Chains A and B, each alone.
Chain A
Amino acid sequence: MEVILAILIGVLYAAGIYMILRRSLVKLILGIIILGNGANLLIFLLGRIVKGSPPIIPGDSEVFESIYADPVPQALILTAIVISFGLQSFAIILIKRAYKVVKTDDLDEMNAIDKDS
Chain B
Amino acid sequence: MTQQIVLYPLLLQLLLSIVLMFCWRKISWQRVISIVGGVINIAVSAWLFYHIWENGTQIVQAGNWKAPFGIIFVGDTLSATLVLLTALSGVAVSTFSSASVVAARLKFGYFPIFHFLLLGLNGAFLTGDIFNLYVWFEIIIISSFVLITLGGEKAQLEGAVKYFTLNILASMIFLTAIAVLYGLTGSLNMADLSMKVAAIENRGLVEITAILFLIAFGIKAAVFPLYFWLPDSYHTPPSAVSAIFGGLLTKVGVYALIRVFTLIFVGDLFLQNILLAMAVLTLISGGLGALVQNNLRKVFSYLIICHIGYMIAGLGLFTKLAISGTIFYLIHDIIVKTNLFMVSGLAYRIRGTNSMRALGGLYAEYPKISLLIAIPLFSLVGIPPLSGFWPKLSLISAGFTAERWWVVGAIVFASLITLIIIAKVWAAIVWKDKTDFPKRLNFRYFAKLKLVRKTQMIAPVVFLSLVSLYIGFGAEHIQQVSVRVANELMDNQQYIDAVYNNNPKLNR
Interface residues of A (CB under 8 A from B): 16, 20, 25, 28, 32, 35-36, 39-40, 42-43, 45-48, 70, 72-73, 76, 79-80, 83, 86-87, 90-91, 94-95, 97-98, 101-102, 107, 110-114, 116-117
Instruction: Give complex CA distance A32, B212 in Å.
Output: 18
Report if A46-B142 is in contact (Cβ < 8 Å); known contacts: A72-B188, A110-B158, A113-B155: no
Q: Which residue of A lies closest to B235 (CB)?
A: A113
Selected from B159, B161, B294, the residue in CB contact (under 8 A) with A107 is: B161
Interface residues of B in 152-209 (CB under 8 A from A): 152-155, 157-162, 164-165, 168-169, 171-172, 175-176, 178-180, 182-183, 186, 188
Q: Cβ of A40: which chain B residues have Cβ within 8 Å of it?
A: 175
Q: What are 5 of the A-B contact pairs (CB < 8 Å)? A: A86-B142, A94-B157, A98-B158, A107-B161, A116-B294
Task: Report B281-325 residues with CB < 8 Å from chain A CB.
Answer: 294-295
Q: Tell me the complex Cα distance, A110–B154, Å.
A: 10
Chain B residues, CB < 8 A from A46: 179-180, 182-183
12 other A-B residue contacts (CB within 8 Å) besides A48-B183, A72-B188: A39-B179, A43-B179, A43-B182, A72-B182, A79-B131, A91-B168, A94-B157, A107-B161, A113-B155, A113-B159, A117-B295, A117-B353
Q: At the interface, yes or no: B488 with Cβ under 8 Å from chain A?
A: no
A90 touches B142 (CB 8 A): yes
Closest residue on chain B to residue A80 by CB atoms:
B175
Most chain A C-beta atoms within 10 Å of own C-beta, residue among B153, B155, B161: B161
For residue B161, which residue of chain A has the nearest CB?
Answer: A98
Does B47 count as interface, using CB distance less than 8 angstroms? no
B154 adjacent to A101 (CB under 8 Å): yes
Q: Is B57 an interface residue (CB 8 A)?
A: no
Minimum CB–CB distance for A53 against chain B, Å = 16
Q: Hey, what's the 0/1 contact readout for B121-164 against A, CB within 8 Å counting as 1?
A: 00000000001001100100110010001001111011111101
A16 cross-chain contacts in B, Cβ below 8 A = 172
Assess A94 versus B164: contact at CB under 8 Å? Given A42-B176, A46-B179, A102-B158. yes
A95 to B175, CA, bound (A): 24
Q: Tell me the minimal C-beta distance from B149 to chain A in angstroms.
A: 6
Kindly state the separation between the CA atoms of A110 and B295 in the bound complex, as whole angstroms: 18
Q: Which residues of the partner chain B approach A35 to less than 8 Å between Cβ atoms? A: 169, 172
Which residues of B line the A interface, CB within 8 A? 131, 134-135, 138, 141-142, 145, 149, 152-155, 157-162, 164-165, 168-169, 171-172, 175-176, 178-180, 182-183, 186, 188, 232, 235-236, 294-295, 353-355
A60 to B175, CA, bound (A): 38
The interface residues of chain B lying within 8 Å CB-to-CB of A20 are 165, 169
Say yes or no: A97-B155 contact (C-beta < 8 A), given A20-B165, A39-B179, A86-B142.
no
Which residues does chain B contribute within 8 Å of A112, judged by CB atoms?
Answer: 154-155, 158
Chain A residues whose CB sits within 8 angstroms of the CB of B353 once the complex forms: 117
A95–B161 contact, CB under 8 A?
Answer: yes
A98 contacts which of B135, B157, B180 (Cβ < 8 Å)? B157
Question: Nearest chain-A residue to B173 (Cβ)?
Answer: A39
CB distance from A106 to the nearest CB of B (A): 12
Verify B179–A113 contact, CB threshold 8 A.
no
Q: Are B131 and A32 in contact (CB under 8 A)?
A: no
Whether A117 and B175, one on each chain, are in contact in the complex, defined by CB atoms closer than 8 angstroms, is: no
User: When A and B form their complex, which 6 residue pairs have the shortest distance between CB atoms, in order from nearest?
Assistant: A46-B183, A43-B179, A98-B157, A39-B175, A42-B179, A110-B158
- Give the distance in Å from the alpha carbon of A67 to the alpha carbon of B235 in the complex: 55
Contacts A39-B176, A87-B138 given; does A113 touch B161 at CB 8 Å: no
Closest to B155 in A: A113
Q: How far is the CB of A9 from chain B (nearest CB, A)?
A: 10
Report the Cα distance A43→B175, complex, angstroms.
Answer: 8
Residue of A nearest to B157 (CB): A98
Q: Given A94-B164, A112-B154, A116-B294, A36 and B172 touching (CB < 8 A)?
A: yes
Asked whether A97 lies within 8 Å of B131 as measured between CB atoms, the reply is no
Asked, given contacts A47-B183, A94-B157, whether A101 binds B152 with beta carbons under 8 Å apart, the answer is: yes
Contact, CB under 8 Å: B138 / A83: yes
A73: B residues at CB distance < 8 A: 182
CB contacts (< 8 Å) of B134 on chain A: these are 80
Contacts of A98 in B (CB 8 A): 157-158, 160-161
Question: How many whole Å from A70's CB to the nearest CB in chain B?
Answer: 7
Distance in angstroms between the alpha carbons of A42 and B232 in the assembled complex:
32
In whole angstroms, how far apart are the Cα atoms of A90 and B167 in the complex? 13
| Contacts known (A39-B176, A46-B179, A80-B175); A102 close to B157, Cβ less than 8 A | yes
Residues in B neighbouring A76, C-beta threshold 8 A: 131, 178, 182
Q: Using Cβ atoms and an 8 Å threshold, which residues of chain A touch B149?
A: 94, 97
- For residue A13, give the distance in angstroms from its CB to the closest CB of chain B: 8
- Closest-by-CB residue of B relative to A93 is B149
B154: A residues at CB distance < 8 A: 101-102, 112
Nearest A residue to B159, CB-CB = A113
Q: Which residue of B lies closest to A41 (CB)?
A: B179
In the complex, how many angstroms separate the beta carbon of B464 from the nearest chain A beta carbon? 26
Q: Which residues of A contact B138 (CB under 8 A)?
A: 83, 87
Residue with the greatest number of chain A CB neighbours at <10 A, chosen from B138, B141, B153 = B138
Distance A16 CA – B168 CA, assembled complex (angstroms): 12
For the complex, what is the distance from the CA of A113 to the CA of B157, rounded to whole Å?
10
Q: Which of A47, A97, A117 contacts B157 (CB 8 A)?
A: A97
